[in-house]
């Protein structure tokens, strides 16, 4: 039983979850985990959890995910926590993205709460192999 009628999208929920994880990684999100929760809850099929170091990084992840999925015709049903800056949730019906500041992730501990859910392998690129982000303008 789904919480809402499922909207048809050009790709399935697993591919959507992995795309969200990939986009978050491109914005240097850390500790990315993709849980397959459909057997445990009717809230969604997949949860994507990730951590960010700062509010600007959280906003960058949110903006990049929204832009990427908008190009595929998917818009979030809801966005929560954008203003609070500790935990942002993007609800795409079959996939829910949770972006935490590290201290909020440790406090709420969704990793433990959903620990019985199967994890979908996601090849996280180590920090030292990621492209460096330039700070400031060169000139």
pLDDT at 135 over 80: no
- Asked if the structure places residue 139 within a domain, the reply is no
Q: What is the mean pLDDT of residues 89-95?
A: 96
Instruction: Retrieve residue 69's tokens.
Output: 């999925």
Is 61 domain-assigned?
yes
Q: What is the CATH number of the domain that holds 48?
A: 3.30.460.10
Which of 1-5, 95-99, 104-108 is the least confident region? 1-5
pTM: 0.81
CA distance 97 to 33: 10
pLDDT at 137: 44
C-alpha 33, offset from chain centre: 9
Residue 14: inside a domain: no
Asked whether residue 16 is assigned to any structural domain, the reply reads: no
Strands (E), the chain: 30-36, 46-52, 78-80, 87-91, 95-101
Domain that holds residue 105: 21-122
Does 131 reside within a domain? no
For 36-80, write each residue's pLDDT tens digit: 999 899 999 999 999 999 999 999 999 999 999 999 999 999 999
Cβ contact 117:40 at 8 Å: yes
Split into its structural domains, the chain has a count of 1
For the chain, helix, strand, coil in percent to 5 are: 30, 20, 45
* Residue at 10 is within a domain: no
């Amino acid at each position: 039983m789904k919480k809402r009628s499922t909207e048809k999208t050009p790709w399935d929920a697993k591919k959507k979850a992995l795309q969200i994880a990939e986009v978050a990684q491109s914005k240097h999100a850390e500790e990315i985990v993709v849980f397959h929760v459909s057997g445990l809850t009717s809230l969604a099929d997949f949860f994507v959890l990730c951590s960010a170091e700062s509010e600007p990084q959280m906003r960058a992840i949110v903006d990049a995910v929204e832009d990427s999925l908008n190009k595929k015709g998917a818009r979030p049903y809801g966005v929560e926590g954008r203003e609070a800056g500790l935990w942002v949730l993007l609800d795409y019906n079959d996939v829910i993205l949770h972006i935490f500041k590290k201290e909020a992730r440790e406090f709420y501990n969704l990793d433990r709460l959903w620990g019985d859910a199967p994890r979908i392998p996601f090849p996280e690129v180590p920090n030292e192999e990621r492209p460096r982000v330039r700070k400031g303008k060169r000139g």
